[in-house]
Amino acid sequence: MTDFAHLPATTRLGDIEVCRVGFGAMQLPGPMVWGPPKNPEEARAVLRRVVELGINLIDTSWYYGPHVSNELIAATLRPYAKDLVLVTKLGGRRTDDKGWASALSPEELRFGCEEDLRTLGLERLDVVHLRWIPHTSVPFRESLDAMIALQQAGKIRHIGLSNVTPAQLRDAMTRAKIVCVSNLYNVAHGEQKLGSLPHASTEGQEAIVDLCAEHGMAFLPFFLLAIPGPRRENTALTEIAERHGKTLAQVAIAWLLARSPTLVPIAGTSRVAHLEENWEARRLALSKEEFDAISAARG
């Protein structure tokens, strides 16, 4: 049973210790995650504040922008602090119409790895997620084996998975050491509601969160601050936020932190004020009754 009064402040990605609130760089580029930010100085200020606050995990990818988030990180934070962990992902690419497409062949994964290394100014990537995008003709094991080869070549320190099913995770665990999973998971959608979301693995997410905790793997949820809209308002979330004088987003992060000891919210923002609000959410200790009320309302 979760000890709601004494939640762990850190968890591990393999042999790397990270605090349990990270930062997602996806919102640093311009609209639709394309091109430079509207306010480049604010984007750099956000990154500087990330480090000042003590956040030591930044989630990024070469195809955010493309290249924009990585280049901002490198230009602002190099030389990197010794404890800063840059988590990237391979398996996707951007199309000319600002869309998203899979890039899961061994050649595409090698290309993406080199782009991350080049734009971040690194010789080895700390943690890299294999981002699985459905409707590809490339077999999962072929992509995973390409990631393993990159690790053996010294390009990748640790392998993670993203957007995977429980079956894919279990299969991967028989072939490589997987240190983390990044899947769609938030306070707005329970298992039933997740099933209506396109282009995201929604099968067995609760089981994956628990499997990660059982095996000491971090779970980094994406779209974690999806807040229920008026048609499916989580009244428990609203009432608890009002009771504590917190924002809905802060309560959502607190619920995630209480959900599993290895869960690491990686909220993204392009504003310093929002970053500080997200960071403060770790101080909000929900009671078991509050946690259960929010969980029951997810559906």
Which stretch of DSSP H or E encloses residue 240? helix 235-244
Which member of 63, 64, 80, 185 is catalytic?
Answer: 64
- What are the residues whose beta carbons fall under 8 Å from the beta carbon of 297, sequence distance 6 or more? 234, 235, 236, 237
Beta strands in the chain (DSSP E): 10-13, 16-19, 23-24, 57-59, 85-90, 92-94, 100-102, 125-131, 156-162, 178-182, 218-219
The C-alpha angle 105, 215, 130, rounded to 5 degrees, equals 15
Our CA angle for 256, 159, 147, nearest 5°, is: 140
Burial 43-73 (b: 16+ CB within 10 A, else e): bbbbbebbbebebbbbbbbbbbbbbbbbbbb
Cβ distance 219 to 183 under 8 Å?
Answer: yes
DSSP string, 57-102: EEE--TTTBTTHHHHHHHHHHPSPPTT-EEEEEESEEE-TTS-EEE
> Could you give the 3-state DSSP secondary structure of residue 284?
coil
185 is catalytic: no
Taking CA atoms, 273 is separated from 132, 267, 277, 278, in Å, by: 33, 13, 6, 9
List residues with catalytic annotation.
64
